[in-house]
Structure 1
Amino acid sequence: MNEQEKEQEQEQAVAAGGADGTARFDRRLIPPMVLGSVLNPVNSTIIAVALVPIGKAFGAPPSQTAWLVSALYLATALGQPIVGRLIDIFGPRRLFLLSTSLVGVAGVIGTLAPDLGVLIAARVVLGFGTCAGYPAAMALLRSEAARTGQDSPAGVLTMLAVANQTIAVIGPLLGGVLIGLGGWRVTFALNVPLSVLAVGLGVLRLPKQEGERPGARRELATRIDLPGMGLFAAMLFSLLLFLMNLHLANWYLPLITLVAGTAFAVRELRAPTPFIDLRVLGGNTPLLATYGRSLVAYVVSYAFLYGFTQWTEEGYGLSPFHAGLVQIPMFLVGIGVSVTVGRRRGVVGKLLLGAVGQIAACVLMLGLTAGSPLWMLLLLAVVFGVPQGANSLALQNSVYFQSDPERTGSSAGLLRTFGYLGSMIASSATAVSFGDRASTGGMHHLAWFMLGAGALYLLATAFDRTLRRLPTGDGPGKRSAA
């Protein structure tokens, strides 16, 4: 070992150890973890204000520019569990560097795109490029817990949740500023410096792991279940396409989903090293319940984001700018709630708070009309901020403690996939409720649908006894008994 390597090890020991000599969470990992996890939400929110100028530039109607949103969600929903599994096998460093490099490639493609088709392709690449950030962060938390002998600091999980919500606040405003300065192409060009920064932080701060050593690559490569990944992709892709466009003419898509899903189950039950171990997952009822809660929580959340915003413009008469301002209290309250409840590691209280907040907000939606005062819209946004802050943090904590330690990355990726499924269902429900125009009656119809999902979320939380076995204290080293 040369002198430079010794110095680096000494620096790592100082950074990761406490004054009393005990091992502590290496906080040098936080910048790449946070930056990697926000690459997806920053691109999800910025595109919202870029759709109209992109449509004008290419002469494309909203039905076509909507694929710029859907392409990112499709690629991410497919890619996160797959990339998460690769992270479980090879470690977070390699996949983080490769994935965040794709973000820069997507930025270049989007900046130079000659037509809408190429731009949509750039969003697909961008979706796959942002897949590694969140699973890598969760895997790093798990590895640090193993190294230090302590459970992951609640503050780090809270920081990830707050960072994502903060981006949701500033994303549209940042997009508006960038478009004003240099046009919509600048919103794609932004990904180039973000990619360079993420790759640089990853090279400097992410630890090298066994999967990166040449002697281990051949052995680990045999653990990649490519057929299982392909069948999973076919199953999920056909399902998402159907949810995005609910129509009898697309009857073949559910059939493809059923066939691919059956083949996937058969493959995974027979594979020596399955992509998703259905035996273990099927026996992990608490984790399955968390995925179910994630789906219904995001149905409510995205239905509000899509549906309520459209109604404030068409049914209430606000301009797009003012409709966006009405949403800001929700994100600000969400950040405040995450910071407040994130100080404790208990999960049940956060879930119940989020469930009650969802139901209260849906009831308030049912009372809105085109003649309601503006303060009622702002009050609704404030109330919706409570589940916005509590649910994401609680679901994230649940997966961390309920998942198999060797499959933390893929488990975290599946959590996001179920969330994207919820967003697709919310989008379809919004389209069915509104039809050609976002009327007050359609908004009330959507609110009843959301209320049903919120009630299901509450019941799934209140009657889940396994949640009581998750860590509730603030002290280190307390593991789940589940």
Structure 2
Amino acid sequence: MARALRRLRPGRAPGPEPGPAKSSRGGFDRRLLAPMMLGSALNPVNSSILSVSLVPIGAAFGAPPSQTAWLISALYLATSIGQPVVGRLIDLFGPRRLFLVGTALTGVAGVVGMLAPNLGVLVAARVVLGFGTCSGYPAAMYLIRSEARRTGEESPAGVLTALAVTTQTIAVIGPSLGGLLIAVGGWRATLAVNIPLALVGLYLGIRRLPATRPARAAAERPLAVLDLPGMALFASALVCLLLFLMNPGAGQWYLLVLTLAAASGFARRELRVAQPFIDIRVLGGNMPLLATYARALLTYVVSYAFLYGYTQWLEEGRGLSASQTGLVQLPLFATAIVVSTLTGRRQAVRAKLLVGAVGQIVACAMLLLLQAHSPVWLLLGVVLVLGVPQGLNSLALQNSVYHQADPDRMGSSAGLLRTFGYLGAIVASAANGAFFGQRADTGGLHDLAWLMLAVSVLFLAVTVADRSLRRIGKPQEDPAAGSPAGSAER
């Protein structure tokens, strides 16, 4: 984990001032690891815990899966919008302030969710939770870059692996923790868990995250560099698109029109403004990074369709309790941790993505074999197989963005990775609601599996066609050029 971070060219991003997190040694400051990992884990823990609480929440409020699906989409709608916005703010102003604000919002969401009197208030709490958990991952990626700039050293493969393994570890304990919390305190306890997590996060953020100087332009003209109109148009386009995805149909055609109008206005704005929220010219010329975002969307459709769809089927279609379902999910994430740990030191990503694609295809095909009375060994076999792509794909996508993105926009680039992933999560949530309807039965699971299988095949095709992936992890030909080692052509 303390391996040297790779050399970077000087950037315009805000730099750390001397503070409590500054290490006297030249390597990566290990005091940063705890807040980085906790912040990055806040969103995954709320995703995985919710997977076992959807059924009891639906029973408490008399809501079918098509309505409780909004609990999933509300979180990801807020996070899809908030991740790149907060990431850009981190690029300009540094991570400490944004980390503390986001962590505090997470605690507030825990209180509101714990006391929610109806499904509508609970959905609103999930929206607040989505915005609150936006800062952790972009802040972590920013800190990895800033430490590399401070030390002037080589690749942070160990730190990137630790970050990926942390989120997977949280996903391991999430369903089981959710089942335990439900058994002890009911589904409200799965929201209340955010309160102590937020308190620990605030303590670590105050004690360990370094103070930073804003970028010069941000310090002199903060409103100008924020590009608020661009952010508003981006958010409008995403909201309209995601609302359509949640309830697609001919009667919702106007949402697509509004999406196109907002997206067109956003593109014109970003091409003309001096300090764009998202630099479309740079992003449009970076095809490898765009391909990485596309892969993130596809793999998250499969991952989250499985996480929520398979979990609901285990409870309603197979008849397991919430705690039993959590235990069945354990091998999925345990396998992912082992795979990530064993392969994380290798920066190359192409082989990881290819094996991950094949693993997804096999796991989705196995779902078609399941019936209402399938034996436990088959239920466990499915999650063991899917654990391999879970461990490979998330790590490979994270490393791809680190090497492909503009260092001065690492926060917003990392945020966009999560945005595309959560777009996939919302597609998965909509598919769950569409295929399950009033109940998560076996027929609905099989229909969902066919969709997941098609998406997995597309993921494989996009990966095979992307030759730029071969360059990631190879020695840099011209170190003096200052471009990321192994980065793809822009």
TM-score by length of 1: 0.89
Q: For residues 225 and 333 of structure 1, what CA distance do their matches in structure 2 show? A: 43
Contact 1:77/1:420 (8 A) holds in 2: yes
Instruction: Give the counterpart of 1:108 among 111, 135, 143.
Output: 111
SS of the residue aligned with 1:246?
Answer: coil
1:415 paired residue number? 417
Structure 1: runs of 5+ lacking an equivalent: 1-7, 18-22
Per-residue deviation at 1:465? Answer: 1.3
Q: Aligned pair 1:363/2:369, yes or no?
A: no
Distance change in 2, residues 1:64/1:425 (3 Å)? closer
2:298 paired residue number? 296
Per-residue deviation at 1:448? Answer: 2.7
SS of the residue aligned with 1:345?
Answer: coil
Q: For residues 459 and 382 of structure 1, what CA distance do their matches in structure 2 show? A: 24
Amino acid at match of 2:486: S
Q: Aligned pair 1:198/2:204, yes or no?
A: no
Per-residue deviation at 1:424? Answer: 1.7
Contact 1:347/1:472 (8 A) holds in 2: no
Distance change in 2, residues 1:147/1:446 (3 Å)? same
1:381 paired residue number? 383
Amino acid at match of 2:309: G
Q: Aligned pair 1:287/2:289, yes or no?
A: yes
Instruction: Give the counterpart of 1:329 among 325, 331, 340.
Output: 331
2:121 paired residue number? 118
Contact 1:470/1:480 (8 A) holds in 2: yes
Per-residue deviation at 1:82? Answer: 0.6
Q: Aligned pair 1:155/2:158, yes or no?
A: yes
Q: Aligned pair 1:34/2:37, yes or no?
A: yes
2:258 paired residue number? 256
Contact 2:180/2:323 (8 A) holds in 1: no
Cα displacement string for residues 91-131 of structure 1 (whole angstroms, at most 9, x for unaligned residues) = 11111111112112222333344444333322211111110
Contact 2:113/2:192 (8 A) holds in 1: yes
Q: For residues 203 and 467 of structure 1, what CA distance do their matches in structure 2 show? A: 39
Q: For residues 223 and 379 of structure 1, what CA distance do their matches in structure 2 show? A: 51
2:14 paired residue number? none
Q: For residues 118 and 421 of structure 1, what CA distance do their matches in structure 2 show? A: 23
Amino acid at match of 1:479: A
Q: For residues 57 and 294 of structure 2, what CA distance do their matches in structure 1 show? A: 36
Per-residue deviation at 1:440? Answer: 4.0
1:480 paired residue number? 486
Q: Which moved more, 1:168-177 or 1:433-442?
A: 433-442
Distance change in 2, residues 1:355/1:440 (3 Å)? same
RCO comparison, higher one (Cα < 8 Å, 6+): 2
Q: For residues 58 and 444 of structure 1, what CA distance do their matches in structure 2 show? A: 27
2:407 paired residue number? 405
Per-residue deviation at 1:156? Answer: 1.2
Q: Aligned pair 1:426/2:432, yes or no?
A: no
Q: Which moved more, 1:102-111 or 1:266-275?
A: 102-111
Q: Which moved more, 1:154-163 or 1:62-71?
A: 62-71
**Aligned counterparts, 1:311-326, within 5 A:** 311-326=313-328
Cα displacement string for residues 198-247 of structure 1 (whole angstroms, at most 9, x for unaligned residues) = 1221122111111199x962334421110000000000011111111223
Per-residue deviation at 1:147? Answer: 1.2
Distance change in 2, residues 1:251/1:341 (3 Å)? same
Contact 2:404/2:487 (8 A) holds in 1: no
Amino acid at match of 1:445: D
Contact 1:96/1:132 (8 A) holds in 2: yes
Q: For residues 467 and 135 of structure 1, what CA distance do their matches in structure 2 show? A: 23
Distance change in 2, residues 1:161/1:47 (3 Å)? same
**RMSD value over aligned CA atoms?**
2.6
Q: For residues 50 and 367 of structure 1, what CA distance do their matches in structure 2 show? A: 26
Contact 1:344/1:472 (8 A) holds in 2: no
Distance change in 2, residues 1:451/1:416 (3 Å)? same
**Aligned counterparts, 1:6-85, within 5 A:** 15-17=23-25, 23-55=26-58, 62-85=65-88
Structure 2: runs of 5+ lacking an equivalent: 1-16
SS of the residue aligned with 2:261?
Answer: helix
Amino acid at match of 1:74: L
Instruction: Give the counterpart of 2:462 among 453, 460, 463.
Output: 460
Q: For residues 10 and 404 of structure 1, what CA distance do their matches in structure 2 show? A: 26
Per-residue deviation at 1:52? Answer: 4.6
TM-score by length of 2: 0.88
Per-residue deviation at 1:322? Answer: 3.2
SS of the residue aligned with 1:89?
Answer: helix
Q: Which moved more, 1:108-117 or 1:297-306?
A: 108-117
Q: Which moved more, 1:181-190 or 1:419-428?
A: 181-190
Cα displacement string for residues 286-333 of structure 1 (whole angstroms, at most 9, x for unaligned residues) = 000000111111111122223333444444444444333322211111
Q: Which moved more, 1:244-253 or 1:115-124?
A: 115-124
Q: For residues 436 and 118 of structure 2, what CA distance do their matches in structure 1 show? A: 30
Aligned pair count?
A: 467
Contact 2:69/2:432 (8 A) holds in 1: no
Q: For residues 316 and 218 of structure 2, what CA distance do their matches in structure 1 show? A: 58
After the TM superposition, which segments of 4 or more aligned residues of structure 1 sit over 6 Å from their partners? Answer: none
Distance change in 2, residues 1:437/1:367 (3 Å)? same
1:222 paired residue number? 224
Contact 2:18/2:210 (8 A) holds in 1: no
Q: For residues 168 and 438 of structure 2, what CA distance do their matches in structure 1 show? A: 31
Q: For residues 141 and 359 of structure 1, what CA distance do their matches in structure 2 show? A: 33
Contact 1:345/1:473 (8 A) holds in 2: no
Contact 1:295/1:419 (8 A) holds in 2: yes
Contact 2:99/2:205 (8 A) holds in 1: yes
Q: Which moved more, 1:216-225 or 1:138-147?
A: 216-225
Cα displacement string for residues 362-387 of structure 1 (whole angstroms, at most 9, x for unaligned residues) = 23233444464432222121110000
Contact 1:90/1:220 (8 A) holds in 2: no
Cα displacement string for residues 32-86 of structure 1 (whole angstroms, at most 9, x for unaligned residues) = 0001011111122223344455455555555444433222111111100110111
1:349 paired residue number? 351
Identity, in percent, stands at 63
Q: For residues 292 and 399 of structure 1, what CA distance do their matches in structure 2 show? A: 12
Q: Which moved more, 1:424-433 or 1:397-406?
A: 424-433
